Amino acid sequence: DIQMTQSPSSLSASVGDRVTITCRASQGISTSLAWFQQKPGKAPKSLIYAASILQSGVPSKFSGSGSGTDFTLSISSLQPEDFATYSCQQYNSYPYTFGQGTKLEIK
């Protein structure tokens, strides 16, 4: 199975900041990488697929990059609604696997 490792596991930031979250795959996955946002008690929301393509309706403050084994999610100009848990997921091969999540908290 492909292991997905996110860093950091938690992150404190202020409104208006820009943050970057990293996701590393245990083997190459090309650009078969997605990012999700999840708030407490809610279903995940898809943000990005194919490493860098925004899902329909997702604001351009979110951006993704990377290929192979190393990927990043960046969020600019943080707003209160952006504080949530972010997870990466590979869909290059079965079983699909997720990172452990990065909890973004308000400083």
Partner 1 sequence: EVQLVESGGGLVQPGGSLRLSCAASGFTLSDHYMDWVRQAPGRGLEWVGRTRNKANSYTTEYAASVKGRFTISRDGSKNSLYLQMNSLKTEDTAVYYCARGHNSFDVWGQGTMVTVSS
The nearest distance, CB 93 to partner 1, in angstroms, is 10
For partner 1, which residue of 5, 17, 45, 67 counts as binding (CB under 8 A)?
45
- Could you give the CA distance from residue 26 to residue 36 in angstroms, rounded to a whole number? 19
For partner 1, which residue of 100, 105, 106, 107 counts as binding (CB under 8 A)?
100
CB contact at 8 A, 17 and 11: no
For partner 1, which residue of 49, 62, 71, 86 counts as binding (CB under 8 A)?
49
58 binds partner 1 (CB under 8 A): no
- CB neighbour list of residue 5: distance below 8 Å, 6 or more residues apart: 23, 24, 26, 99, 100
# residues contacting partner 1 (CB under 8 A): 23
The nearest distance, CB 16 to partner 1, in angstroms, is 28
In terms of DSSP bridges, do strands 10-13 and 102-106 run parallel, antiparallel, or are they unpaired?
parallel
H runs (alpha helix) in 13-106: none
76 binds partner 1 (CB under 8 A): no
